[in-house]
Protein backbone atom coordinates (compact mmCIF):
# COMPACT_ATOMS: atom_id res chain seq x y z
CA UNK A 1 0.00 0.00 0.00
CA UNK A 2 1.27 3.42 -0.88
CA UNK A 3 1.76 5.60 2.18
CA UNK A 4 3.11 8.83 0.81
CA UNK A 5 2.26 9.86 -2.71
CA UNK A 6 3.43 12.92 -4.60
CA UNK A 7 1.66 13.44 -7.90
CA UNK A 8 3.08 15.92 -10.34
CA UNK A 9 4.24 18.25 -7.55
CA UNK A 10 5.77 21.62 -8.47
CA UNK A 11 7.30 24.31 -6.35
CA UNK A 12 8.16 27.69 -7.80
CA UNK A 13 9.89 30.49 -5.90
CA UNK A 14 9.48 33.63 -7.98
CA UNK A 15 11.09 32.68 -11.27
CA UNK A 16 13.02 29.73 -9.87
CA UNK A 17 11.54 26.27 -10.18
CA UNK A 18 12.76 24.28 -7.18
CA UNK A 19 10.74 21.13 -7.80
CA UNK A 20 9.47 20.25 -11.25
CA UNK A 21 6.74 17.69 -11.89
CA UNK A 22 7.77 15.28 -9.15
CA UNK A 23 6.04 11.90 -8.90
CA UNK A 24 6.90 9.62 -5.98
CA UNK A 25 5.11 6.62 -4.56
CA UNK A 26 6.44 5.66 -1.15
CA UNK A 27 5.23 2.41 0.36
CA UNK A 28 4.23 1.94 3.94
CA UNK A 29 7.24 1.15 6.12
CA UNK A 30 9.69 1.97 3.38
CA UNK A 31 12.96 3.88 3.94
CA UNK A 32 13.33 6.27 1.03
CA UNK A 33 16.23 8.65 0.50
CA UNK A 34 16.00 11.81 -1.52
CA UNK A 35 19.51 12.13 -2.88
CA UNK A 36 21.08 14.87 -4.93
CA UNK A 37 23.53 17.77 -4.93
CA UNK A 38 22.63 20.96 -3.05
CA UNK A 39 19.92 22.94 -4.79
CA UNK A 40 18.37 19.88 -6.45
CA UNK A 41 15.05 20.37 -4.65
CA UNK A 42 15.31 17.52 -2.17
CA UNK A 43 14.93 19.66 0.96
CA UNK A 44 12.11 21.64 -0.63
CA UNK A 45 10.36 18.34 -1.34
CA UNK A 46 10.74 17.27 2.28
CA UNK A 47 9.49 20.64 3.53
CA UNK A 48 6.45 20.27 1.31
CA UNK A 49 5.81 16.85 2.83
CA UNK A 50 6.11 18.45 6.27
CA UNK A 51 3.76 21.30 5.38
CA UNK A 52 6.40 23.97 5.88
CA UNK A 53 6.18 24.87 2.20
CA UNK A 54 3.07 24.61 0.09
CA UNK A 55 3.29 23.14 -3.41
CA UNK A 56 2.62 25.46 -6.34
CA UNK A 57 0.93 22.59 -8.14
CA UNK A 58 0.20 18.89 -7.85
CA UNK A 59 -1.06 16.75 -5.02
CA UNK A 60 0.50 15.31 -1.87
CA UNK A 61 -1.17 12.44 -0.05
CA UNK A 62 -0.17 10.89 3.26
CA UNK A 63 -2.02 7.69 4.07
CA UNK A 64 -5.48 8.15 2.62
CA UNK A 65 -5.61 11.92 3.10
CA UNK A 66 -4.84 14.72 0.69
CA UNK A 67 -2.60 16.97 2.80
CA UNK A 68 -1.89 19.88 0.43
CA UNK A 69 -3.65 22.38 2.67
CA UNK A 70 -3.07 20.81 6.08
CA UNK A 71 -0.86 22.54 8.64
CA UNK A 72 2.28 20.61 9.67
CA UNK A 73 0.79 19.70 13.03
CA UNK A 74 -2.20 17.99 11.41
CA UNK A 75 -0.25 15.69 9.12
CA UNK A 76 0.87 13.06 11.63
CA UNK A 77 4.51 13.45 10.69
CA UNK A 78 7.65 14.12 12.68
CA UNK A 79 10.75 15.80 11.40
CA UNK A 80 14.40 15.83 12.39
CA UNK A 81 16.17 18.97 11.24
CA UNK A 82 19.73 19.28 10.03
CA UNK A 83 20.31 21.91 12.71
CA UNK A 84 18.43 19.69 15.24
CA UNK A 85 16.33 22.77 16.12
CA UNK A 86 16.19 21.89 19.82
CA UNK A 87 14.39 24.47 21.93
CA UNK A 88 17.33 26.07 23.79
CA UNK A 89 15.34 27.24 26.81
CA UNK A 90 13.80 23.83 27.49
CA UNK A 91 15.49 20.86 29.11
CA UNK A 92 15.99 17.62 27.19
CA UNK A 93 12.89 16.19 28.87
CA UNK A 94 10.78 19.23 27.98
CA UNK A 95 12.05 19.12 24.41
CA UNK A 96 10.97 15.51 23.99
CA UNK A 97 7.66 16.16 25.75
CA UNK A 98 6.76 19.21 23.65
CA UNK A 99 4.99 17.41 20.77
CA UNK A 100 2.95 15.42 23.31
CA UNK A 101 2.06 18.56 25.22
CA UNK A 102 0.88 20.24 22.03
CA UNK A 103 -1.40 17.28 21.36
CA UNK A 104 -2.95 17.40 24.77
CA UNK A 105 -1.47 14.22 26.23
CA UNK A 106 -2.02 14.17 29.99
CA UNK A 107 0.97 14.93 32.17
CA UNK A 108 1.39 11.51 33.79
CA UNK A 109 1.22 9.73 30.47
CA UNK A 110 3.59 12.26 28.97
CA UNK A 111 6.21 11.63 31.62
CA UNK A 112 5.96 7.89 31.05
CA UNK A 113 6.32 8.22 27.27
CA UNK A 114 9.28 10.58 27.59
CA UNK A 115 10.96 8.18 30.01
CA UNK A 116 10.47 5.28 27.59
CA UNK A 117 11.86 7.22 24.62
CA UNK A 118 14.77 8.53 26.65
CA UNK A 119 15.66 5.02 27.71
CA UNK A 120 15.57 3.73 24.16
CA UNK A 121 18.01 6.48 23.10
CA UNK A 122 20.12 6.35 26.27
CA UNK A 123 19.14 9.87 27.21
CA UNK A 124 17.80 9.13 30.67
CA UNK A 125 20.71 10.69 32.61
CA UNK A 126 20.50 13.84 30.48
CA UNK A 127 16.78 14.60 30.85
CA UNK A 128 17.31 17.68 33.02
CA UNK A 129 20.12 19.17 30.98
CA UNK A 130 19.75 22.03 28.55
CA UNK A 131 20.62 21.38 24.87
CA UNK A 132 23.70 23.62 25.01
CA UNK A 133 25.24 21.36 27.64
CA UNK A 134 25.15 18.35 25.31
CA UNK A 135 27.61 17.09 22.71
CA UNK A 136 26.65 17.04 19.04
CA UNK A 137 25.79 13.35 19.12
CA UNK A 138 23.63 13.75 22.20
CA UNK A 139 21.78 16.71 20.68
CA UNK A 140 21.18 14.55 17.64
CA UNK A 141 19.62 11.83 19.78
CA UNK A 142 17.39 14.37 21.53
CA UNK A 143 16.17 15.56 18.12
CA UNK A 144 15.43 11.93 17.23
CA UNK A 145 13.69 11.42 20.55
CA UNK A 146 11.41 14.38 19.95
CA UNK A 147 10.42 12.78 16.64
CA UNK A 148 10.05 9.24 18.02
CA UNK A 149 8.06 9.95 21.16
CA UNK A 150 4.80 10.45 19.32
CA UNK A 151 4.98 7.42 17.01
CA UNK A 152 3.94 9.37 13.89
CA UNK A 153 2.92 7.82 10.59
CA UNK A 154 5.87 9.22 8.64
CA UNK A 155 9.33 10.35 9.74
CA UNK A 156 11.01 13.09 7.78
CA UNK A 157 14.76 13.44 8.24
CA UNK A 158 16.67 16.37 6.76
CA UNK A 159 20.37 15.50 6.59
CA UNK A 160 20.34 14.55 10.27
CA UNK A 161 23.88 13.17 10.30
CA UNK A 162 25.70 15.89 8.41
CA UNK A 163 26.84 17.77 11.53
CA UNK A 164 28.43 14.73 13.16
CA UNK A 165 32.03 13.65 12.81
CA UNK A 166 32.79 10.72 10.53
CA UNK A 167 33.00 8.03 13.20
CA UNK A 168 29.79 9.05 14.95
CA UNK A 169 28.06 9.31 11.60
CA UNK A 170 28.84 5.68 10.82
CA UNK A 171 27.53 4.66 14.23
CA UNK A 172 24.32 6.70 13.92
CA UNK A 173 23.75 5.27 10.45
CA UNK A 174 23.61 1.80 11.92
CA UNK A 175 21.40 3.05 14.76
CA UNK A 176 18.94 4.57 12.30
CA UNK A 177 18.75 1.39 10.22
CA UNK A 178 18.04 -0.59 13.35
CA UNK A 179 15.47 1.94 14.50
CA UNK A 180 13.71 1.76 11.17
CA UNK A 181 13.58 -2.02 11.34
CA UNK A 182 12.25 -1.94 14.87
CA UNK A 183 9.55 0.71 14.26
CA UNK A 184 8.57 -0.33 10.75
CA UNK A 185 7.55 3.25 10.01
CA UNK A 186 7.84 5.08 6.72
CA UNK A 187 10.92 7.26 6.66
CA UNK A 188 11.89 9.88 4.12
CA UNK A 189 15.53 10.83 4.41
CA UNK A 190 17.16 13.76 2.65
CA UNK A 191 20.88 13.55 2.04
CA UNK A 192 23.58 14.63 -0.36
CA UNK A 193 25.79 11.79 0.83
CA UNK A 194 25.39 8.85 -1.54
CA UNK A 195 26.99 6.49 0.97
CA UNK A 196 24.20 7.21 3.47
CA UNK A 197 21.57 6.77 0.78
CA UNK A 198 23.12 3.50 -0.46
CA UNK A 199 23.54 1.93 2.97
CA UNK A 200 20.22 2.89 4.55
CA UNK A 201 17.54 3.03 1.92
CA UNK A 202 15.04 0.59 0.49
CA UNK A 203 14.80 2.91 -2.47
CA UNK A 204 16.66 6.04 -3.51
CA UNK A 205 15.10 8.95 -5.35
CA UNK A 206 17.93 10.70 -7.17
CA UNK A 207 17.12 14.32 -7.93
CA UNK A 208 18.78 17.02 -9.97
CA UNK A 209 17.55 20.52 -10.90
CA UNK A 210 14.18 19.86 -9.31
CA UNK A 211 13.54 16.75 -11.39
CA UNK A 212 13.46 13.12 -10.38
CA UNK A 213 16.20 11.26 -12.24
CA UNK A 214 15.66 7.76 -10.94
CA UNK A 215 13.68 6.08 -8.17
CA UNK A 216 14.92 2.57 -7.49
CA UNK A 217 16.62 0.33 -4.90
CA UNK A 218 20.30 1.12 -4.22
CA UNK A 219 21.63 -1.84 -6.20
CA UNK A 220 19.59 -0.89 -9.26
CA UNK A 221 20.67 2.74 -9.01
CA UNK A 222 24.25 1.53 -8.85
CA UNK A 223 24.12 -1.16 -11.54
CA UNK A 224 21.59 0.29 -13.92
CA UNK A 225 21.71 4.08 -13.56
CA UNK A 226 18.88 5.61 -15.56
CA UNK A 227 21.03 8.32 -17.03
CA UNK A 228 24.43 9.91 -17.09
CA UNK A 229 23.72 12.15 -14.08
CA UNK A 230 22.76 9.25 -11.81
CA UNK A 231 25.75 7.26 -13.05
CA UNK A 232 28.19 10.04 -12.22
CA UNK A 233 26.57 10.90 -8.87
CA UNK A 234 26.51 7.40 -7.39
CA UNK A 235 29.65 5.51 -6.42
CA UNK A 236 32.99 6.38 -4.82
CA UNK A 237 35.31 6.76 -6.61
CA UNK A 238 32.94 7.93 -9.30
CA UNK A 239 32.24 6.25 -12.60
CA UNK A 240 34.61 7.08 -15.44
CA UNK A 241 32.62 8.79 -18.14
CA UNK A 242 34.12 9.23 -21.59
CA UNK A 243 32.59 11.30 -24.37
CA UNK A 244 32.74 9.77 -27.81
CA UNK A 245 30.70 8.37 -30.64
CA UNK A 246 28.58 5.29 -31.27
CA UNK A 247 29.06 3.64 -34.64
CA UNK A 248 27.47 0.62 -36.24
CA UNK A 249 29.86 -1.72 -38.05
CA UNK A 250 28.70 -4.97 -39.64
CA UNK A 251 25.67 -5.07 -37.33
CA UNK A 252 27.80 -4.53 -34.21
CA UNK A 253 27.79 -1.42 -32.08
CA UNK A 254 31.17 0.13 -31.37
CA UNK A 255 31.96 3.06 -29.11
CA UNK A 256 34.86 5.16 -30.28
CA UNK A 257 36.73 7.78 -28.30
CA UNK A 258 40.13 9.45 -28.30
CA UNK A 259 42.49 6.76 -29.36
CA UNK A 260 40.51 3.68 -28.36
CA UNK A 261 37.32 1.87 -29.20
CA UNK A 262 35.20 -0.60 -27.26
CA UNK A 263 32.48 -3.05 -28.25
CA UNK A 264 29.05 -2.02 -27.06
CA UNK A 265 27.36 -5.41 -26.78
CA UNK A 266 24.24 -4.68 -24.72
CA UNK A 267 22.64 -1.72 -26.41
CA UNK A 268 18.86 -1.46 -26.36
CA UNK A 269 16.53 -0.30 -29.10
CA UNK A 270 17.03 3.40 -28.31
CA UNK A 271 20.66 3.40 -29.43
CA UNK A 272 21.52 5.70 -32.32
CA UNK A 273 24.70 6.43 -34.19
CA UNK A 274 26.36 9.67 -33.20
CA UNK A 275 27.61 11.51 -30.14
CA UNK A 276 27.27 9.50 -26.92
CA UNK A 277 29.11 8.75 -23.70
CA UNK A 278 30.45 5.60 -22.15
CA UNK A 279 30.58 5.03 -18.42
CA UNK A 280 32.69 2.40 -16.71
CA UNK A 281 33.02 1.98 -12.95
CA UNK A 282 36.56 1.66 -11.56
CA UNK A 283 35.96 -2.05 -10.94
CA UNK A 284 35.18 -2.55 -14.66
CA UNK A 285 38.62 -1.35 -15.58
CA UNK A 286 41.47 -3.85 -15.45
CA UNK A 287 44.97 -2.58 -14.96
CA UNK A 288 47.94 -4.55 -16.28
CA UNK A 289 47.10 -5.67 -19.78
CA UNK A 290 44.94 -4.25 -22.50
CA UNK A 291 44.77 -2.08 -25.53
CA UNK A 292 44.60 1.32 -23.78
CA UNK A 293 47.75 3.05 -22.60
CA UNK A 294 47.78 5.51 -19.71
CA UNK A 295 50.22 7.36 -17.46
CA UNK A 296 49.62 6.98 -13.71
CA UNK A 297 49.03 10.32 -12.07
CA UNK A 298 48.04 9.37 -8.58
CA UNK A 299 47.82 6.30 -6.39
CA UNK A 300 45.53 6.51 -3.36
CA UNK A 301 46.08 3.82 -0.78
CA UNK A 302 43.02 2.92 1.26
CA UNK A 303 44.52 -0.19 2.86
CA UNK A 304 42.53 -2.96 1.29
CA UNK A 305 42.93 -1.59 -2.23
CA UNK A 306 44.69 1.09 -4.20
CA UNK A 307 42.84 3.59 -6.30
CA UNK A 308 44.78 4.46 -9.42
CA UNK A 309 44.13 7.59 -11.44
CA UNK A 310 45.70 7.48 -14.90
CA UNK A 311 45.75 9.91 -17.78
CA UNK A 312 44.70 8.41 -21.08
CA UNK A 313 45.21 10.17 -24.41
CA UNK A 314 44.53 13.86 -24.32
CA UNK A 315 43.78 14.73 -20.68
CA UNK A 316 41.12 12.07 -20.09
CA UNK A 317 41.33 10.75 -16.52
CA UNK A 318 40.41 7.18 -15.77
CA UNK A 319 40.13 5.73 -12.28
CA UNK A 320 40.65 2.06 -11.51
CA UNK A 321 41.10 -0.14 -8.48
CA UNK A 322 44.06 -2.46 -7.92
CA UNK A 323 45.19 -4.90 -5.32
CA UNK A 324 47.66 -3.19 -2.95
CA UNK A 325 50.20 -5.92 -3.75
CA UNK A 326 50.27 -4.91 -7.40
CA UNK A 327 53.05 -2.32 -7.62
CA UNK A 328 51.86 0.77 -9.48
CA UNK A 329 53.65 4.08 -9.05
CA UNK A 330 52.86 7.60 -10.14
CA UNK A 331 54.54 8.46 -13.47
CA UNK A 332 54.52 4.86 -14.68
CA UNK A 333 52.94 3.91 -18.02
CA UNK A 334 50.33 1.17 -17.68
CA UNK A 335 47.98 -0.82 -19.88
CA UNK A 336 44.23 -0.73 -19.30
CA UNK A 337 41.32 -2.71 -20.61
CA UNK A 338 37.60 -2.07 -20.34
CA UNK A 339 35.18 -4.90 -19.57
CA UNK A 340 32.61 -4.20 -22.28
CA UNK A 341 29.91 -6.15 -20.42
CA UNK A 342 30.20 -3.74 -17.48
CA UNK A 343 30.14 -0.60 -19.58
CA UNK A 344 27.18 1.76 -19.67
CA UNK A 345 26.33 3.90 -22.65
CA UNK A 346 24.49 7.19 -22.43
CA UNK A 347 22.87 9.50 -24.93
CA UNK A 348 24.33 12.96 -25.35
CA UNK A 349 23.93 15.61 -22.60
CA UNK A 350 24.35 15.89 -18.82
CA UNK A 351 21.27 13.79 -18.14
CA UNK A 352 21.59 11.65 -21.27
CA UNK A 353 19.52 8.47 -21.01
CA UNK A 354 21.14 5.10 -20.53
CA UNK A 355 21.09 3.13 -23.78
CA UNK A 356 21.85 -0.37 -22.47
CA UNK A 357 19.25 -3.12 -22.67
CA UNK A 358 16.88 -3.03 -19.70
CA UNK A 359 17.60 -5.65 -17.05
CA UNK A 360 14.92 -8.16 -15.97
CA UNK A 361 13.05 -6.17 -13.30
CA UNK A 362 13.98 -2.98 -11.57
CA UNK A 363 11.29 -3.24 -8.94
CA UNK A 364 11.96 -6.71 -7.59
CA UNK A 365 14.73 -6.18 -5.03
CA UNK A 366 12.82 -3.44 -3.19
CA UNK A 367 9.91 -5.74 -2.52
CA UNK A 368 12.06 -8.56 -1.35
CA UNK A 369 14.07 -6.21 0.84
CA UNK A 370 11.08 -4.75 2.64
CA UNK A 371 9.55 -8.20 2.91
CA UNK A 372 12.75 -9.27 4.61
CA UNK A 373 12.48 -6.34 7.01
CA UNK A 374 8.92 -7.17 7.88
CA UNK A 375 9.94 -10.74 8.55
CA UNK A 376 12.77 -9.73 10.89
CA UNK A 377 10.89 -7.09 12.86
Partner 1 sequence: MARKILFNIFAWMVVLMVAFPLFWMLVTSVKPQFELFRRPPSMLPETVTFEHYWRLLSDTNFLGYFWNSVILSTATTFVVVTIATIGAYSLVRFRYRGRETLAFLVLFTYLLPSVVLILPLYLMLVELGLSNTITSLVIAYTTFALPYALWLLRSFMAGIPEDLESAALVDGATRLGAFKDVILPQLLPGIISTALFTFILSWNEYLYALVLVNSDESRPLTTGVMNMLISSFNIEWSLLMAASVMMSVPLIIVFAFLQSYLTRGFGAGGVKG
Q: Closest approach of Cβ 17 to partner 1, in Å?
A: 18
Consecutive H or E run containing 317: strand 316-322
> Which of residues 77 and 280 has its CB atom nearest to partner 1 in the complex?
77
First CA to last CA across the chain, in angstroms?
18
What is the sign, positive or negative, of the torsion defined by CA atoms of 150, 156, 162, 163? negative
Could you check whether the bond before residue 237 is cis, i.e. omega within 30 degrees of 0? yes
State how far the Cα of 264 lies from the Cα of 37, in Å rounded to an integer.
30
Rounded to 5°, angle at Cα 200 from 177 and 368? 95
C-beta of residue 316 within 8 angstroms of C-beta of residue 280: no
Q: Closest approach of Cβ 41 to partner 1, in Å?
A: 18
Sorted by sequence, the CB contacts under 8 Å of residue 8 that are 6+ apart come out as 21, 22, 23, 57, 58, 59
> Which of residues 118 and 347 has its CB atom nearest to partner 1 in the complex?
118
Q: Closest approach of Cβ 57 to partner 1, in Å?
A: 19
Q: Closest approach of Cβ 74 to partner 1, in Å?
A: 8
C-beta of residue 238 within 8 angstroms of C-beta of residue 283: no
> Which of residues 86 and 206 has its CB atom nearest to partner 1 in the complex?
86
Residues that bind partner 1 (CB under 8 A): 47, 50-52, 71-73, 77-79, 81-89, 98-99, 102-103, 130-134, 136, 139, 146, 162-163
Query: Nearest to residue 11, comparing CAs of 209, 224, 284, 151?
Result: 209
Main-chain dihedrals φ then ψ at residue 15, nearest 5 degrees: -105, 0
Q: Closest approach of Cβ 125 to partner 1, in Å?
A: 18
Q: Closest approach of Cβ 77 to partner 1, in Å?
A: 7
> Which of residues 101 and 317 has its CB atom nearest to partner 1 in the complex?
101
Q: Closest approach of Cβ 86 to partner 1, in Å?
A: 6
> Which of residues 118 and 343 has its CB atom nearest to partner 1 in the complex?
118
> Which of residues 140 and 240 has its CB atom nearest to partner 1 in the complex?
140
Q: Closest approach of Cβ 326 to partner 1, in Å?
A: 42
> Which of residues 87 and 171 has its CB atom nearest to partner 1 in the complex?
87
C-beta of residue 42 within 8 angstroms of C-beta of residue 53: no
> Which of residues 55 and 99 has its CB atom nearest to partner 1 in the complex?
99
What SS3 state is found at 249?
strand
What SS3 state is found at 278?
strand
> Which of residues 70 and 299 has its CB atom nearest to partner 1 in the complex?
70
Burial classification of residue 153, based on how many CB atoms lie within 10 Å of its CB (0-12 exposed, 13-18 middle, 19 or more buried): middle
Q: Closest approach of Cβ 322 to partner 1, in Å?
A: 38
State how far the Cα of 182 lies from the Cα of 201, in Å rounded to an integer.
15
Amino acid sequence: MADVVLSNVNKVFGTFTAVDGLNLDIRQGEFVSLLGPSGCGKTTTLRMLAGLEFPSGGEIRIGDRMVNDLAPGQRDIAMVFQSYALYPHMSVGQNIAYPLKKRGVAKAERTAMVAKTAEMLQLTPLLNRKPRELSGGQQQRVALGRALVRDPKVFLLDEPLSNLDAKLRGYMRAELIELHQRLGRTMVYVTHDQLEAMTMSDRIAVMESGKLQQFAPPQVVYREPANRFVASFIGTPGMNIVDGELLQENGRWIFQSQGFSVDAPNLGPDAQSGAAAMGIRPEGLSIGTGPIEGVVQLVEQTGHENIVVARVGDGLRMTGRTNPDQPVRAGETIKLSIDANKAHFFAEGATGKRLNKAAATSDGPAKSQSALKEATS
